[in-house]
Every structure is written in C-alpha cells, then in structure tokens.
Amino acid sequence: MLRFALGRLLQAIPVLLVVITMTFMLVHSAPGGPFSADKAVPEEVLEALEAQYNLDQPLWQQYISYLGDVLQGDMGPSFKYPGRSVNELILSGLGTTAELGMYAMMVAIFIGVIAGVTASMRPNTAQDYVPMTAAMIGICMPSFLLGPLLVLIFGIHLEWLPVSGWNQIPGDKILPAITLGTGYAAYIARLSRGGMLEVLSQDYIRTARAKGLSEFLIISKHALRGGLIPVVAFLGPAFAGLLGGSFVVETIYQIPGLGRFYVQAAFNRDYTMILGTTVFFATLIILFNLLSDMLAVWLNPKLRQQVRGE
C-alpha cells in the first residue's frame, strides 16, 4: 500500500509543478494588475507598491523566487490584504470550507445512497422513477438558485433556520450543507442505483436468498458492500470538487470559507493568492483521488490481502 501511495504522490510532483508554472503565467498575463483601482494610482505610488512585492523584477526571477518560497511552504504575502500571508488566509478559510464540505458530503451520501438503493430495489417502477427523476433535477439545479430558494422558505418565511453565518451548530450549517450537497446527492443516487442493480443481479445474492435471509439482510449485508464501490470511486473527486465549488454557497450564506478567497483572488488579481489557492486545490484533488482509490482497494478483500501480504 505504502509503495502504491508513494508512487502516486511522486506522480503528483510534476503535476503540481506544471500547475504552478501554467497558473503563474496565466495570472501574470491577465489584464489589470493587483493595484489598479478606479481612483487613479499615481505613478510613484505604483512603483513603490510594485517594489514592495518584487513585481519590478523580470518575470522569470519572480517565478524562481516564488518556486523557492513555495518549496519552503511559504506562499508569499497577499497583495490584496496587506500584512496577511497567503498561508494565513488559506488556513483561516480551510477549516470552515472543510467543515462545510464534510456536512455537504454527509447530506449527499445520506440522501443519495438511500434514494439510489430504494430505486434499485424495484427497478422500472414508480419507486425507481420518482427518486431518479428527483436526482436528475438535483443534478441540474444550480446552487445559486437552490440556495436563495431554501433561504426564503426556511430562513425568511418559516423562520426555522438562520439565513447566513457560521457560528452555531447545527443551525446555520444545515441550509449550506443541503445547498452544496444536493447536486452530489443526485449523482450518488444515480451511481449507487447502478452499482446496486449490478450487484443484485449477482449469483451470490441468489445464494443469500436461497439461504433464507431477509431482504433487509440481503441488501444491507450482501449487496451494499459491492454496490457502493462506484460511489466510493466518485467520492474522492467529488469532495475535492465540492471544496472548490463551495464559492457560490459561501457567498449566499456569508460563510468565511476558502471558496470565496479562490474567486475573489481571481477578481482582485491577487497573484500570490490565486497561485496559493490553485496549488492548494490541485493538491486536494490529487490527494482525494488517491484516498478514494485506496479506499476502493480496501473494500476489495482480494486486493486488501495483497496489501497485507506486502
């Protein structure tokens, strides 16, 4: 297992390097600098500022020195927030976003798996079509629409839940989690349905029946294990994507998360911040893909033993 993981991590290094390089070139060639404002900025001020952030050096020098810093784990100072380092900012948002992502995932898995399994138990009946159609809608329901809807229903009219913020548990966690989770719930529903149908057609399910086990046991003990493997494979990328895509939700609900930084940085041309967040998310994507692969291995006893045997 270790070797497997290490191998993948080694592969990640060139990937990250390319990501950094390309992003670096992208941001520096994007129009509008970090300090441009609607009030004219006097030449001398601009020079002073650029000198402060070594923007006056030739690009390749900036690139080299940036790489150097990154290797030492320092992503540099933010241009937009003087005195704040990118590391600091990312850290400040990371916890929140991770938390949000976790809740969203929980919602997604909970609803998704239940819907998918229910559907798979009676394929091509109403019990199948209803949740699956809902799933279809969920997939295409943009969160910028779902979010406000939920807020208006549960926040303003029913006054059950706070409309924004990130202070209480579970109060203001619920709506964001649902808003962010729904799309993924829908995907998971489709995946788990497919997986379950596959497994339920297997001989060993018939064996289980012949043994006189109850339907519940058959589903929960014999089928789920294999039926959810596609879901597991999906989880990794999904979680990474979910963290990256949390921007809309974070804005709707005023959540101090990473997604906002990611997007704002782009709008502000906060070079170091863009690079920082990008690198960070790239790492996440790679890590989570690796994790879900390892999980998939773990779920398969055959592969697991090879791992043990190592």
**Smallest separation (angstroms) from another protein to the CB of 143:** 10
Instruction: With beta carbons less than 8 A apart as the criterion, state whether 231 and 120 touch.
Output: no
| Paired tokens of 107 | 């919602």
**Smallest separation (angstroms) from another protein to the CB of 174:** 4
Task: Tell me the backbone φ, ψ of residue 7, rounded to 5 degrees.
Answer: -55, -50
| Paired tokens of 215 | 């339907």
Residue with tokens 């960070």: 280
Q: How many CB atoms lie within 10 A of CB 304?
A: 13
Residue whose CB is less far from another protein, 120 or 289: 289
| Paired tokens of 3 | 């070797």
Measure Cα distances from 224 to 27, 113, 196, 220 in Å: 46, 10, 7, 5
Q: Per DSSP, what are the bridge partners of residue 77?
A: 85
Q: How many CB atoms lie within 10 A of CB 22?
A: 11
Q: How many alpha carbons fall within 13 Å on the CB side of residue 303?
A: 10
Residue whose CB is less far from another protein, 44 or 60: 44
**Smallest separation (angstroms) from another protein to the CB of 141:** 8
**Smallest separation (angstroms) from another protein to the CB of 64:** 21
Q: Cα(303)–Cα(137) distance, rounded to whole angstroms?
A: 37
**Which secondary structure element, helix H or strand E, spans residue 135, and what is its range?**
helix 126-140
| Paired tokens of 28 | 């520096």
The letter for the amino acid at 95 is G
**Smallest separation (angstroms) from another protein to the CB of 242:** 13
Residue whose CB is less far from another protein, 71 or 159: 159
**Smallest separation (angstroms) from another protein to the CB of 27:** 6
Q: Per DSSP, what are the bridge partners of residue 111?
A: none
Residue whose CB is less far from another protein, 39 or 60: 39
